[in-house]
Amino acid sequence: MRLLRRYRVGLVLIGLGAVTLWRTRRADGNHAWRYGRRVLLGAAGVVAAYMVLLPVGIGYITTHVGRAVVPANDLGVAYENVSFTTSDGLKLEGWYVPSKNGAAVIAFPGRKGPQRQTRMLARHGYGVLLFDRRGEGESDGEPNSWGWGGDKDVKAAIAYLQRRPDVDPARIGGIGLSVGGEMMLETAAETSSLKAVVSEGAGARAFSDEMDHDAGALEAALSAPLYAIKTAAVAVFSNQWPATNLRHLVGRIAPRPVLLIAAPNSPNGEDLNRGFYKAAGEPKALWEIPESRHTGGIEARPREYELRVISFFDEALLR
């Protein structure tokens, strides 16, 4: 009720402000000039709202709103409820499907999106760890939808698997979807403990990534201020430095293998994977699925997806 009253008071104040501005408007002078000026001021206000308020609002929401619900478990295989702690003291909660072949894969992020990939991997004997990243589900911490600082979560997951009696510490891989793919690439560039990475749907995390998109000079010039303000807002609201450009990181992963999966026709900026592929060392592969939606490769081409991903992990982790 208190919140509702505040909203009502706010609407009344906004209404009074609009009425006051209308009644105190200038009515003298040339009509064409007066109304032309108002149109220009209105247009300037709309542009300012789009260029400033929108990216600042996005920055605030993506660093303060996290999914607090744990999804239904549809894995269809035996699993354990597990928890582990990050290097900065956060407790993360998740599920673990025990390994039958001595190898394990981190499926990331969250416990909902990677469930189909988890079932696929479990059918082939892989252990699979999926968990709530910081600030989401039942895990501690503040959310950050862009994944800044999330490499600590993946490193903690690797450390957990290294302690498992059913897992060979030298046979740990990762499959990441969307921001999870970005975080897998970043983590693999920072630690050799992640032996193989499948990244699907990776895109831009900060200003430097956004400016790597294949765009014309005019489009880049118009979008640069918006991207810069959004990145600055995320940095301020999360109290973190912007994430490092992924194109500058992926070259550090070799000689460990990388499989990049992208939906080039999705509106999520997955064209950046072509730059990641060029910057990565061997062994590497880029598989583009034109008819796929964002992170929808397993739905668009289920048989080929399973064949490619399982063959990739078999080669990297079992042989």
Let me know if residue 24 belongs to a domain: no
Let me know if residue 3 belongs to a domain: no
Higher pLDDT, 219 or 21: 219
Output the CA torsion sign for 191, 193, 197, 199.
negative
- 4: confidence class by pLDDT, cuts 50, 70, 90: very low
Q: Where are the beta strands (DSSP E) in the chain?
A: 80-85, 91-97, 104-108, 127-131, 172-177, 196-200, 258-262, 284-288
Let me know if residue 20 belongs to a domain: no
Let me know if residue 27 belongs to a domain: no
| 74/53 Cα distance (integer angstroms) | 40
Percent of the chain with pLDDT over 90: 58
Q: How large is the average pLDDT for residues 165-191?
A: 96
Let me know if residue 213 belongs to a domain: yes
| 190/155 Cα distance (integer angstroms) | 9
Neighbours of 209 (CB within 10 A): 25
Smallest CA-to-CA distance from 132 within 73, 195, 193, 206 is with 73
Tell me how far CA of residue 26 lies from CA of 18, 21, 42, 130, in angstroms. Answer: 14, 10, 15, 63
Neighbours of 248 (CB within 10 A): 12
Pair 83, 258: CB distance under 8 Å:
no
Residue 49 DSSP label: I
Looking at the 3D structure of the chain, how many domains does it have?
1
DSSP 8-36: HHHHHHHHHHHHHHHHTS---S-HHHHHH
Smallest CA-to-CA distance from 286 within 156, 183, 198, 180 is with 198
| 198/173 Cα distance (integer angstroms) | 8
- Least confident among 10-24, 117-131, 267-281: 10-24
Tell me how far CA of residue 299 lies from CA of 147, 189, 238, 292, in angstroms. Answer: 25, 29, 34, 8
Let me know if residue 142 belongs to a domain: yes
Smallest CA-to-CA distance from 153 within 96, 93, 82 is with 93
- With 90 as the cut, is the pLDDT of residue 29 above it? no
Let me know if residue 278 belongs to a domain: yes
Mean of per-residue pLDDT scores for the chain: 84
Higher pLDDT, 145 or 318: 318
Q: What is the pLDDT of residues 221-269, one digit of tens each?
A: 666 777 777 777 777 877 778 778 899 999 999 999 999 999 999 888 8
| 269/179 Cα distance (integer angstroms) | 12
Let me know if residue 40 belongs to a domain: no
- With 60 as the cut, is the pLDDT of residue 163 above it? yes
CATH code for the domain in which residue 149 is found: 3.40.50.1820
Pair 253, 188: CB distance under 8 Å:
yes
Tell me how far CA of residue 207 lies from CA of 112, 120, 232, 235, 304, in angstroms. Answer: 28, 35, 9, 11, 34
- With 90 as the cut, is the pLDDT of residue 203 above it? no
Q: Which domain holds residue 306?
A: 80-218+241-318
